[in-house]
């Protein structure tokens, strides 16, 4: 397979980059001053694109690669891939579902606990030597709080399961009610937000879910409510979120993702009621390695004419 060209468009863990380099003819998009003008001999060799949660294949890239057969994303979210265009051109698409479900759900609970129990702030308090001047202020209990989840897919369900362990009543919003679900369904995000303490965004980013968290939802969640986003930054109208936090219209937010990451609104840095993470939902050695193996397995299956491991398109 050494002659098969693979274009890497997203930053991935070194293990995956090295394996791609060993097994294929690897091109890295950042090696070109203008990716739209890849040298023609490279363009002719490229039969696969490997992306990530932050970079995929849009219509322009797909059109620019006439030999493209497969786009494999080192992520479960595929909002950076023009799936319609791939379908139209018969290009296969794969992602990395299942292997990261536990990790993202674990981190969600971590974010909730960090936010409500102010774990990061407590750590800063101890490190800065303030403890000797008195005790730290009281925080907020998590057990028993109502958790509202947007999107009851694999990750949403794994979060619900974990939150149940904290005796939290669970409710959810999704496009349609899940007949087999024991959790309370709300037909709108505003109703869900009005009836929960902690609102968790766990759905895929699509045109429909872009800015699903808007001013109305934030106001419905209110000054005692908490927003947790482990989905995509673009689920949230970020300027609205920032003003709600600054004005005290929202209790707090735990954010693993941002609208224009790695850029983070500076107003958030001075707030105590936010926990900010650098998009690390799946970032453990175990899970990222499993994701990398899925990317490699999908590419090899495709080029050997075998069924894809995790086909999307
Ligand atoms: C994904 O795989 O889409 C996640 O966002 C990675 O953390």
Cβ atoms within 10 Å, residue 122 = 15
Weakest mean pLDDT among 17-26, 36-45, 251-260: 36-45
- Same-domain check for residues 86 and 213: no
Q: Which domain holds residue 57?
A: 5-98+286-303
**What residues form DSSP beta bridges with 200?**
149, 228
- Same-domain check for residues 75 and 183: no
pLDDT at 35 over 90: no
Task: Give a yes or no: residue 89 inside a domain.
Answer: yes
Q: Give tens-digit pLDDT for 130-178.
A: 999 999 999 999 999 999 999 999 999 999 999 999 999 999 999 999 9
- The predicted model gives 45-71 an average pLDDT of 96
pLDDT at 33 over 80: no
Q: Is the CB of 101 under 6 A from ligand 1?
A: no
Task: Give a yes or no: residue 204 inside a domain.
Answer: yes
- Same-domain check for residues 87 and 107: no
- Same-domain check for residues 223 and 141: yes
- Same-domain check for residues 209 and 130: yes
Q: Is the CB of 209 under 6 A from ligand 1?
A: no
Contact 213, 228 (CB under 8 A): no
Q: Is the CB of 233 under 6 A from ligand 1?
A: no
pLDDT at 2 over 80: yes
Q: Is the CB of 282 under 6 A from ligand 1?
A: yes
Task: Ligand 1 pocket test: pick from 55, 74, 76 the residue with the most ligand atoms within 8 Å of its Cβ.
Answer: 76
- Same-domain check for residues 131 and 225: yes
- Same-domain check for residues 126 and 234: yes
For residue 39, what pLDDT is reported?
Answer: 82
pLDDT at 129 over 90: yes
Q: What is the dihedral of CA 268, 269, 272, 277, to 10 degrees?
A: 80
Task: Give a yes or no: residue 310 inside a domain.
Answer: no
For residue 36, what pLDDT is reported?
Answer: 67
For residue 226, what pLDDT is reported?
Answer: 98
- Same-domain check for residues 146 and 259: yes
Weakest mean pLDDT among 36-40, 185-189, 231-235: 36-40
- Same-domain check for residues 111 and 71: no
Task: Give a yes or no: residue 192 inside a domain.
Answer: yes
CA dist 14 and 310 (Å) reads 22
Number of structural domains the chain divides into: 2
Q: Give tens-digit pLDDT for 84-119.
A: 999 999 999 999 999 999 999 999 999 999 999 999
Task: Give a yes or no: residue 308 inside a domain.
Answer: no
Look over the chain and give the mean of its residue pLDDT values, rounded to a whole number: 96
Task: Give a yes or no: residue 311 inside a domain.
Answer: no
- Same-domain check for residues 153 and 208: yes
- Same-domain check for residues 120 and 72: no
Task: Give a yes or no: residue 313 inside a domain.
Answer: no
Q: Give tens-digit pLDDT for 236-293.
A: 999 999 999 999 999 999 999 999 999 999 999 999 999 999 999 999 999 999 999 9
- Same-domain check for residues 63 and 205: no
At 120, list the tokens.
Answer: 């990061």
When pLDDT is cut at 50, 70 and 90, the band that residue 34 belongs to is confident
Q: Which atom of ligand 1 is nearest to the CA of 279?
A: 7
Distance 78 CA to ligand 1 centre (A): 9
Q: Which segments of the chain does DSSP mark as H helices, in order?
A: 14-23, 40-45, 59-64, 83-89, 101-116, 119-127, 154-164, 189-194, 215-221, 238-247, 285-303
pLDDT at 22 over 70: yes
CATH number of the domain that 27 lies in?
Answer: 3.40.50.720
């Amino acid at each position: 397979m050494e002659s098969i060209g693979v274009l890497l468009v997203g930053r991935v863990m070194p293990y995956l980059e090295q394996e791609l380099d060993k097994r294929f003819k690897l091109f890295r998009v950042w090696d070109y001053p203008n990716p739209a003008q890849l040298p023609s001999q490279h363009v002719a060799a490229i039969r696969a694109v490997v992306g990530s949660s932050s970079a995929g294949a849009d219509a322009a890239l797909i059109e620019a690669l006439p030999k493209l057969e497969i786009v494999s994303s080192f992520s479960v979210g595929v909002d950076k891939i023009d799936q319609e265009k791939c379908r139209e051109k018969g290009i296969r698409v794969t992602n990395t579902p299942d292997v990261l479900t536990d990790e993202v759900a674990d981190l969600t609970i971590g974010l909730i606990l960090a936010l409500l129990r102010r774990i990061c702030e407590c750590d800063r308090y101890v490190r800065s030597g303030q403890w000797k001047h008195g005790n730290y202020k009281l925080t907020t209990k998590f057990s028993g709080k109502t958790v509202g989840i947007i999107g009851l897919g694999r990750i949403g369900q794994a979060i619900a399961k974990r939150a149940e362990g904290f005796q939290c009543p669970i409710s959810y919003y999704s496009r349609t009610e899940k007949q087999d679900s024991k959790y309370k369904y709300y037909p709108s995000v505003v109703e869900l937000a009005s009836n929960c303490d902690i609102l968790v965004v766990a759905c895929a980013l699509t045109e429909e879910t872009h800015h699903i968290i808007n001013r109305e939802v934030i106001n419905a969640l209110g000054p005692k409510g908490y927003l947790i986003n482990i989905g995509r930054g673009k689920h949230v109208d970020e300027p609205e979120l920032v003003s709600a936090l600054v004005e005290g219209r929202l209790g707090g937010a735990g954010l693993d993702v941002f609208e224009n990451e790695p850029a983070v609104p500076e107003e958030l840095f001075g707030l105590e009621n936010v926990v900010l993470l650098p998009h690390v939902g799946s970032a453990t050695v175990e899970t990222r390695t499993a994701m990398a193996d899925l990317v490699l397995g999908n590419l090899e299956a495709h080029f050997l004419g075998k069924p894809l491991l995790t086909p999307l398109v």
